[in-house]
């Protein structure tokens, strides 16, 4: 955009529900969103924070009261997403994480590979699918959502749950295999 007036007109058109204007507005404000997220998010969360923020903006821009408030609203949404991602990251007790890391580091690489393969095989298909798309094909949340025809939030939730299940599998106390009873 070449001037503030152009951006203001774009915001008004987006507020009115013009899908082309919404798309252009998101494109225009993406660099600002990324720059702001770099200051408020962990490096690993920047892409997710920007993605989620732009999704919120696209859905709720029609409710914005004044076009002049757009920039501050954008930054508020990004900051909230950064905080949300930080809370998710901090949800695990650090001591629990240290114990988990120690438990996993005691295994040989081969044993860990086998355990990881078994953990992945134990996942329900819809969880395995998102893990493979994200961690092996290295697709973004948006690309996975598009491929699966789902909302990015649903994909992120499923990916988080899948990773939790893998973690639980890897950290579960080892059970002694039982021999089946023969009658």
pTM of the model: 0.47
Q: 94-171 sits in which CATH class?
A: mainly alpha
Does 4-89 carry CATH code 1.10.1740.10? yes
Q: Where in the chain is the domain with CATH 1.10.1740.10?
A: 4-89
Q: How confident is the model at residue 82 (pLDDT cuts 50, 70, 90)?
A: confident
Nearest to 76 by CA among 109, 135, 140, 33: 33
Q: How far apart (Å, rounded) are the C-alpha atoms in residues 87 and 117?
A: 29
Q: Where in the chain is the domain with CATH 1.10.10.10?
A: 94-171
The per-residue pLDDT for range 144-164, each reduced to its tens digit, is 999 999 999 999 989 998 888
124: DSSP letter: -
Q: How confident is the model at residue 3 (pLDDT cuts 50, 70, 90)?
A: very low
Backbone φ/ψ region at 16: left (φ over 0), alpha (ψ -120 to 50), beta: alpha
Q: How confident is the model at residue 88, as a pLDDT?
A: 77
Q: Which residues contact 12 (CB under 8 A, 6 or more apart)?
A: 67
CB atoms within 10 A of CB 183: 3
Percent of the chain with pLDDT over 70: 83
Residue 89 tokens read as 């990251």
Averaged pLDDT, 69-87: 86
Residue pair 55/30 in contact by the 8 Å Cβ criterion: no
Residue pair 37/53 in contact by the 8 Å Cβ criterion: yes
The per-residue pLDDT for range 13-29, each reduced to its tens digit, is 999 999 999 999 999 99
């Amino acid at each position: 955009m070449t001037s503030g007036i152009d951006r203001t007109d774009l915001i008004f058109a987006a507020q009115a529900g013009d899908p082309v204007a919404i798309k252009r507005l998101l494109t225009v404000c993406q660099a600002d969103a990324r720059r702001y997220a770099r200051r408020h998010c962990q490096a690993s969360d920047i892409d997710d924070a920007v993605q989620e923020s732009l999704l919120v903006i696209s859905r709720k821009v029609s409710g914005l009261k004044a076009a002049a408030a757009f920039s501050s609203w954008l930054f508020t949404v990004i900051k909230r997403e950064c905080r949300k991602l930080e809370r998710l990251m901090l949800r695990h007790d650090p001591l629990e994480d240290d114990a988990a890391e120690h438990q996993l580091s005691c295994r040989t690489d081969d044993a860990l590979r086998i355990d990881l393969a078994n953990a992945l095989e134990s996942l329900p298909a819809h969880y395995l699918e998102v893990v493979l798309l994200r961690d092996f094909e290295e697709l973004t949340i948006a690309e996975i959502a598009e491929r699966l025809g789902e909302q990015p939030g649903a994909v992120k939730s499923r990916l988080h749950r899948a990773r939790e299940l893998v973690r639980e599998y890897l950290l579960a106390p080892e059970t002694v295999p039982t021999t089946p009873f023969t009658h």
